[in-house]
C-alpha cells in the first residue's frame, strides 16, 4: 500500500418497486419455510442461492412448505420466478 487513493466513476442504478404481495416466512427459518400469496399455476421455479451465488436447492412446484433441514446455517436468497417472467428475490436466514 502506497497511501494513495483512487476513485472510480459513480453509477446510478434504478430499481422498480416490487408489486408483488409475496410472503416468505418464518424468517429466520430452521427446517422449513413457507411462501404465501402466489397462485399455484403461476409459479415457474424457486431457486435457493447461497452468498457465493451457488444454487443449493431448486423447486418447480408450489408446495405447502419447503424443506431445508439439510441446508447449512447461513444467509440465502430465494429467487422466485413466475410464468409471466417476473422475478422476485427474497433474503432468507437459515438457523
Which long-range contacts link 85-92 to residues 24+ away (Cβ below 8 Å)?
86/20, 88/18, 88/20, 88/22, 90/22, 90/24, 91/27, 92/24, 92/27, 92/28, 92/29, 92/33, 92/48
This prediction's pTM: 0.77
pLDDT at 10 over 70: no
The pLDDT, as a whole number, for residue 1 is 57
Q: What's the farthest any 2 CA atoms get from each other in the chain? A: 59
Q: Tell whether domain 23-94 is in CATH 2.60.40.1930.
A: yes
The pLDDT score that the predictor gives to residue 38 is 87
Lowest mean pLDDT among 10-24, 51-65, 77-91: 10-24
DSSP type of residue 37:
S
Contact between residue 68 and residue 50 where contact means Cβ atoms under 8 Å apart: no
What percent of the chain lies above the pLDDT cut of 90? 66
Q: Where do the domains of the chain lie? A: 23-94
Query: Distance between CA 24 and CA 18 in Å, rounded?
Result: 14
Amino acid at each position: 500500500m502506497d497511501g494513495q487513493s483512487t476513485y472510480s466513476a459513480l453509477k446510478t442504478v434504478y430499481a422498480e418497486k416490487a408489486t408483488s404481495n409475496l410472503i416468505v416466512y418464518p424468517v429466520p427459518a430452521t427446517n422449513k419455510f413457507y411462501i404465501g400469496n402466489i397462485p399455484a399455476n403461476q409459479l415457474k421455479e424457486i431457486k435457493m442461492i447461497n452468498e457465493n451465488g451457488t444454487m443449493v436447492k431448486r423447486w418447480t412446484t408450489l408446495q405447502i412448505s419447503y424443506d431445508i433441514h439439510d441446508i447449512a446455517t447461513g444467509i440465502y436468497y430465494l429467487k422466485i420466478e413466475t410464468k409471466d417472467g417476473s422475478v422476485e428475490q427474497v433474503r432468507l436466514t437459515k438457523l
